[in-house]
């Protein structure tokens, strides 16, 4: 039985308070009940049930195959493992194409999982969708810069905002999302100076990933953080553990132990 102490769950207002106080916000991804509970016990403030589960858990090359049903199943498991963290759920590819579709799908996510917010990828064009959801009482986190759901349109994974026009587009996008009512914006793979400028410009928190240290907070894929993966780790990640090595060692010792066990001798005499 868990010895977890019951505490009040964090809210979007708490994040705003942290931003105003200049205290950084810590966020990680989780995809299952056990990991979510461990992160919650450790004191993480935000958990993202990311559509990165397509890569990390389901073995896909991109996030595009992830379905709404996938997100609901995993988000429910994550939420049930937590008591304190604010849990946000990615709206997967194709589920927020227009405001009404997004609203229907976001309602399903919140009703079926218990989670508190959704995250939507995209810039200024997504502002009407964000406004529609917020108008119905659904907290929305924006996401600009490298947006994995648009990887084919973007032409791959690279740093964003290098040119003046590109930087201005991202600034305009962040402002449009804030004006639409987003409670925070993820800045993924932005030029660090630009990410810092956007953070200082906005009243809402920015959560960076690969965008430097000047954002209001940071988010990472938890498997990258703890070394529980078999692929390449992004250059901006500095793993704090090598959990994969621990698992391999434990399994290796188990295999050795099983194979070293002597068969039980048969009792009695064999009948010729």
More confident residue, 267 or 272: 267
| Strand intervals (E) in the chain | 25-29, 46-49, 86-90, 117-121, 140-145, 184-188, 206-209, 217-220
Q: What is the pLDDT of residue 179?
A: 98
Q: What is the pLDDT of residue 261?
A: 83
| 188 is an active site residue | yes
Query: Tokens 């579709």 identify what position?
Result: 101
Q: Is 121 annotated as ligand-binding?
A: yes
pLDDT in tens, 205-250: 999 999 999 999 999 999 999 999 877 788 888 999 999 999 999 9
Q: What is the pLDDT of residue 1?
A: 36
pLDDT category, 263, cuts 50, 70, 90?
Answer: confident
Rounded average pLDDT over 254-259: 95
Residue 270 resides in a domain: no
Separation between Cα atoms, residue 68 and residue 272, nearest integer Å: 65
Separation between Cα atoms, residue 170 and residue 178, nearest integer Å: 12
Residue 267 resides in a domain: no
Q: What is the pLDDT of residue 150?
A: 76
Residue 228 resides in a domain: yes
Task: Please calculate the CA angle 27-31-37 and round it to the nearest 5 degrees.
Answer: 70
Q: Is 6 annotated as ligand-binding?
A: no
Rounded average pLDDT over 111-138: 97
pLDDT at 2 over 60: no
pLDDT at 128 over 50: yes
Q: Annotated catalytic residue: which of 6, 45, 61, 188?
A: 188
pTM flag (> 0.75): yes
Residue 272 resides in a domain: no
Q: Is 197 annotated as ligand-binding?
A: no
Total domains in the chain come to 1
Residue 168 resides in a domain: yes
| Strand intervals (E) in 43-189 | 46-49, 86-90, 117-121, 140-145, 184-188
Residue 80 resides in a domain: yes
Residue 1 resides in a domain: no
Per the prediction, the chain carries an average pLDDT of 92
CATH number of the domain enclosing 105? 3.20.20.60
Residue 191 resides in a domain: yes
Q: Which residues pair with 207 in a beta bridge?
A: 186, 217
Residue 16: φ, ψ to 5°: -60, -40
pLDDT in tens, 34-56: 999 999 999 999 999 999 999 99
Rounded average pLDDT over 107-135: 97
Domain that residue 93 falls in? 12-260
pLDDT at 152 over 90: no
Percent of the chain whose predicted confidence (pLDDT) is above 70 = 93
């Amino acid at each position: 039985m868990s010895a977890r102490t019951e505490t009040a769950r964090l809210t979007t207002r708490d994040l705003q308070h942290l931003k105003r106080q200049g205290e950084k916000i810590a966020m990680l991804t989780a995809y299952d009940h056990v990991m979510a509970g461990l992160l919650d016990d450790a004191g993480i403030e935000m958990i993202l049930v990311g559509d990165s589960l397509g890569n990390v858990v389901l073995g896909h090359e991109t996030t595009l195959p992830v379905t709404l049903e996938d997100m609901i199943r995993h988000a429910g498991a994550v939420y049930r493992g937590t008591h304190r963290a604010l849990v946000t759920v990615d709206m997967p590819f194709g589920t927020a194409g227009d405001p009404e579709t997004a609203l229907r799908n976001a309602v399903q996510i919140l009703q079926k999982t218990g989670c508190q917010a959704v995250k939507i990828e995209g810039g200024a064009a997504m502002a009407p969708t964000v406004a529609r959801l917020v108008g119905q009482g659904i907290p929305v986190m924006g996401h600009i810069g490298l947006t994995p759901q648009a990887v084919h349109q973007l032409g791959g994974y690279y740093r964003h905002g290098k040119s003046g026009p590109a930087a201005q587009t991202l600034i305009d996008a962040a402002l449009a999302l804030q004006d639409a009512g987003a409670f925070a914006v993820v800045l993924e793979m932005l030029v660090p100076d630009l990410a810092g400028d956007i953070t200082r410009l906005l009243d809402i928190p920015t959560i960076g990933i690969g965008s430097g240290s000047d954002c209001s907070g940071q988010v990472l894929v938890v498997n990258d953080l703890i070394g529980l993966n078999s692929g390449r780790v992004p250059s901006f990640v500095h793993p704090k553990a090598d959990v994969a090595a621990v698992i391999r060692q434990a399994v290796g010792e188990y295999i050795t132990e099983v194979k070293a066990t002597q068969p039980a001798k048969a009792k009695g005499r064999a009948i010729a």
